[in-house]
Amino acid sequence: MFKVFNIKATLRDVQPVVWRKIKVGEDITFYKLQKSLQEYFGWPVSKFSTFLTKGNNIFQKHGTQLRVEGLNSIITRLSVFNFISGDTIELRQNLMDDWMFDMIIESVEYSHKSGVISCTGYRGTTPPINYSGPDALEFVDGASYIPQIMGTLHNIR
């Protein structure tokens, strides 16, 4: 039996609130979690990101010249941390723009299947990743406006 984590991932400092609920098997790597989150939020895969959980940094080290201390997200699986309900994970995405995700393990289930990862719910439209993080957004009447482009990103209910 494999543990499956029900995780709520919320994009930090963005209003209206933007979140995705996902099911993730304990045998998934942090890199696969990052790639899947980016797809569920509608973003291309970032070249560099870092996770922080239980006092540990988990970096994508493949293909970078960075010398960083911490675990490698490409080979480190979620099972290493023996997560339980209420545990948290922080993802700093695209380090130049500082998009931050707050994730919480809402519950733990068990499955006979390995490699489980899927989006089970969502709220909100994700701002484009290439607009300098949440500081570049303006908010008017509950919609997110990005000064560099025309139009609005409306909240999905």
pTM of the model: 0.79
Q: Give residue 140's pLDDT band: very low, low, confident or very high (50, 70, 90).
A: very low
CA separation (Å) from 146 to 17, 107, 156? Answer: 16, 35, 17
Between 153 and 45, name the one with better pLDDT.
Answer: 45
- pLDDT, residue 110, reads 96
Q: Which domains does the chain have, with CATH numbers?
A: 2-153 (3.10.290.30)
Decide if pLDDT at 131 tops 60: no
> Tell me, what DSSP letter sits at residue 6?
E
| Mean pLDDT, all residues of the chain | 79
The predicted model gives 113-123 an average pLDDT of: 92
Q: What percent of the chain has pLDDT over 70?
A: 71
